[in-house]
Amino acid sequence: MGGEGMICDSGLVLRLGYEGWASLQPCVKLEPSIPCSASPAEGSAEPSLSLSLSEVAVPRAAAEVDAGRGGEPRVLARQSSPHSAVSSFSGAYPASSGATKREKDVVSEEVEAERGVSCRASDEEEEGSARKKLRLTKAQSALLEDMFREHSTLNPKQKQALAKQLNLRPRQVEVWFQNRRARTKLKQTEMDCELLRRCCESLTDENRRLQKELQELKALKFPSPALYMQLRPPATLTMCPSCERMAGPAAGAGDVTKGGVAGAPFATATRAHFYNPFAAHPPPAAC
């Protein structure tokens, strides 16, 4: 599994990868590498974060998200244009027709539906010519999508059967599945990136806030950290204002990982509830 890493403003190293393609489970690890000059050098604690996408039920297929531009559903069953060399209906409507493109498309679809035609493109006689491109019919796309939802890959037998059912060549089915997997992965990656971006923003804010708090603390020069702890409960470390969940004294007490210093007065002894966009509960809109 290859991983890509980036350091965001919050000083966290974000690593993104996939635990295998089929399962589409991106894993994300946020490792603290707080570069801030006001980092807890003086025995203070730095938050230890560990977010994992593996625990998350990320919306699986992009198919469900896959809408046309501007949210307008696209008509996939559209046959090729009158100029298309592979059009099954190159004569269905003349180019000089007064109908608009969209109207033509509708007509084409209706005619196609009536005839029950599927586009078997690039027949053997086409070999040697320039690359041809077919447009799958709505029915073909639907069936392929159904199959894809069941299995993202096909064994040779399934491929053969599906090709026969769709009146396509096995190679076409194979290519469709390849492209479909690629599209799904791309969509998933985009979604992951968006989640990471939000997470990064959130952590940046938190980092900023903690630094500010640290500076205030320094300015106050409390006689003892314990006093500060009494006056400033760790609940103030709540990261996600929308979640309204705070790390109470019991939550994570003693759970000071490598990032924190066990026993250090400013470790806040607790791990604040850092907003995890990959957590099972849906991320708040504010995040």
Partner DNA sequence: TACGTCGGTTAGTTTACTTCA
Partner DNA sequence: CTTGAAGTAAACTAACCGACG
> Which residues in this chain contact DNA in the complex, by CB under 7 A?
21-22, 66, 68-70, 72, 74-76, 78-81, 83-87, 98, 100-102, 105, 121-122, 130-136, 141, 153-154, 156, 171-172, 174-183, 185
> Measured from the CB atom, is 69 or 221 closer to DNA?
69
> Measured from the CB atom, is 149 or 212 closer to DNA?
149
> Measured from the CB atom, is 54 or 90 closer to DNA?
90
> Measured from the CB atom, is 183 or 232 closer to DNA?
183
CB 147, min distance to DNA, A: 13
CB 283, min distance to DNA, A: 24
DSSP calls for 19-84: S-TTTT-EEEEEEE----TTSS-SSB--------GGGS-----GGGT---GGGPPP-TTPPPPTT-
> Measured from the CB atom, is 21 or 222 closer to DNA?
21
Rounded to whole angstroms, how far apart are CA atoms 26 and 199?
A: 15
The token duo for 216 is: 């205030």
Rounded to whole angstroms, how far apart are CA atoms 180 and 177?
A: 5
CB 152, min distance to DNA, A: 7
Q: Phi/psi at 105 (nearest 5 deg)?
A: -60, -45
List of residues 6+ apart from 111 with CB closer than 8 A: 89, 92
CB 25, min distance to DNA, A: 14
CB 156, min distance to DNA, A: 5
Longest dimension (CA), the chain: 90
